[in-house]
Structure formats: structure tokens, C-alpha cells
Structure 1
Amino acid sequence: MSTPQDLIDASIPFLNELKNRTAGEDLEKWLNDAYGPGSEFYERVAGLVKDGVRDGWAANIEVDGPRYRRSRLAEPCEELNYFSITAVYMDSVEPYRGQYHQHPYGELNMVVPLNEGAELAGPRGWCGGGWTAPDPASHHYPEVRGGAIIALFYLPAGRISYDITPPAE
């Protein structure tokens, strides 16, 4: 049985490589090329976070009922190059929006679909598996369609803000 520490330990070499990079379009492309589906890192960490959701130690706190849950697995610390690690589970066949938020320092978001065709909206379109890397100061609704996904995100300094007002629609 896997544990949160297994996921944290698997993330350390990855975060060592990323510690001096900035979220955005270039990093998103690089992450998908170097660490996307099929890579050893992606498959290992995706398996661990799936285990965590199944076993109740990841994405286990309801935000909007059982279809939208999250949990912080690790606080920023020196060992993680001051990144936090959070898991989010979202499940909806129809497009579903989560909680509007801002990323003061950006976000590195590993998208793990649990159903064929499940996708998460990223800053550059829908992502069915792989990475999104919203820029620093970006803000958005997390949005899922086509089934269930897990978003495992790494936040520089653990910074995320839910006290931002969404734009008028």
C-alpha cells in the first residue's frame, strides 16, 4: 500500500530539477515533453496519487460534495524546494467548474484522467493527461469534463489564493 510519503519522495528529484524554473507556456511544453504520460515519473506518480484517492489519503476533503475534493499532501519545505503538493479530484461528464482562485507564483499541475475522455481545462486548452503550468498571477476556475480526473499540483511557496473575485460573465 502506498503512502503520502511515497508520493513526496517520488516528487523530490522532479522538484530539484524544477526549482529555478517559472510556470508558463514554455515550462508547460517542456513538462509534457520530458515528464508527460508514458514517462517513468508521470506513470509512477500518477499511480501513487490514484492509490491515494482510492485509499483515502489524497483528495479526501470535500469542497463541493464527493465530485470535488482536495487535500494538501505536503507543505512547502526545504526538502521540496519550497513547493507544496496538493491533490484535487473532480468528476463530471458535463463541464463542471470548481472554486475560482489565483496562483500568485504560478502552478505546475499534473493531470491524471481516471476515465477515457476526461479532461481538465488549462490555460492553453483542455488537457486529457499531462501537464498545465498556469503563469504567475493567473486566475481561473478549475473545470473538468468527460469524467473524473486527479490534478496533482505543485505550488511554489504553497501560494494559492481563493479570495479573488471572479470576472463578471
Structure 2
Amino acid sequence: MSPIEFKGLVARVTGAIASRPLDANLQAWLNTEYAAGSEGYTGLADACRAGVEEGWLADREAGGIRYGRIFKALPDTDGFSVDVVHMNNIAGPHHVHPNGEIDLIVPLADGATFDGHAAGWCVYGPGSAHRPTVAGGSAIVLYLLPEGAIEFKKHAA
């Protein structure tokens, strides 16, 4: 797997979702069309694991979280930026999604969850905010941001 091949896998998904609103319907569609265990999900999950292991994904580290933006919002990815994080029983920094966020959740440990979601997809709508949290072990999360928009803000605990 290479970054170019990885971009091709991601572009299959972004091409299918580019015109859809980021909402519960999109989350349901992704969890049907790219359900955990399906060929599409498995291809992306395997690529994320390989990229993290090889060091070209999540190539930075801060506060116990490995992270990195592999692609800015590009025409090749239908205007979505592509980031990958590797987290282990930790909460990340609070942030806002001005245009929404789409997350592919790849548990590395049995029972690991991201914001309470097991293997699969989670969609946050425009204007949503959270403190991303992995519990129950280690997980990789690929996230797609329309126009690459994300705002980190201090948030009272």
C-alpha cells in the first residue's frame, strides 16, 4: 500500500458521498454500503493499519495521540481532507466541525470504540463538536472533513 493507492481507496468513498448531506442518513448509508467486514471497509481498514505501521499515516505524536493529515482537501478527494489518528484509551482535544466530519472507525483491540461507536462509520453534522474519545483499547480513526474545516477550541471539562 502506498499513499497514492490509499488516496484511490478513499476517493471511491468520497466520490460516492460528495453530494450527500452529513447527517444520520449518510451514517446509515455508509454503515450499509461500507459496513464493517465488507470489502470496502476491510480495504480501507487494512490500508489504515498498514499506513500507521509503516509510518506514513499518523506520522506525528502529541499527548499520546498519533495523528496526521495525509491529504488536504483536494479535487481528487472531492473536497474532503483526509486525516488519520491512532488512539489508545484517551480523549483528544475538543474541536468543532464547521462543515461536519465523517469517521471510519478501525478498532485494533476487541471492544475498542470511538465516541461509543464500534467498527464502522460515524457522521457528525455541520456545526457539531466533540472531544474525540477512544475507549476499550486501541483504534485507528480515518476522518474526512469537507473543505478540511476544523476548529480547535478550549472547552471546559
- TM-score in same-fold range (> 0.5): yes
Determine if contact 1:22/1:106 at 8 Å carries over to the other structure.
no
Matched, 1:91 2:88: yes
Q: 3-state DSSP class of the match of 1:136?
A: coil
The equivalent position to 2:139 in structure 1, one of 134, 144, 149, is 149
| TM-score for both structures, normalised by structure 1 | 0.89
Q: Distance in 2 between matches of 1:149 and 1:22?
A: 26
Please report how far the alpha carbon of residue 165 of structure 1 lies from its aligned counterpart in structure 2 after TM superposition.
3.3
In structure 2, give the amino acid aligned to 1:11: V
Q: Distance in 2 between matches of 1:4 and 1:70?
A: 15
Contact kept, 8 Å, 1:119 with 1:128, in 2: the verdict is: yes
Residue matched to 2:154: 165
Provide the residue aligned with 1:32 in structure 2: 31
For these two proteins, the number of residue pairs brought into alignment is: 157
Q: Which runs of 5+ in 2 are unaligned?
A: none
Q: Shift of residue 63 of structure 1?
A: 2.0
- Kindly provide the amino acid, as one letter, of the partner of residue 63 in structure 2: D
Residue identity in the other structure for 1:129? A
Runs of at least 4 residues off by over 6 Å: none
User: What amino acid is the match of 2:103?
Assistant: N
The aligned counterpart of 2:76 is 79
Select 1:136's aligned residue among 112, 118, 126. Answer: 126
Offset of 1:19 from its aligned partner?
0.7
TM-score with structure 2 length normalisation?
A: 0.96
Report the identity percentage: 33
Report the residue type matching 2:67 in the other structure: R
Matches within 5 A, 1:35-74: 35-65=34-64, 68-74=65-71
Letter in 2 for 1:63: A
Q: Which of these residues, 98, 101, 107, is aligned with residue 101 of structure 2?
A: 107
| CA RMSD between the two structures | 1.1
In 1: Cα distance, 2:142 partner to 2:58 partner: 9
Instruction: Supply the AA of the counterpart residue of 1:73.
Output: I
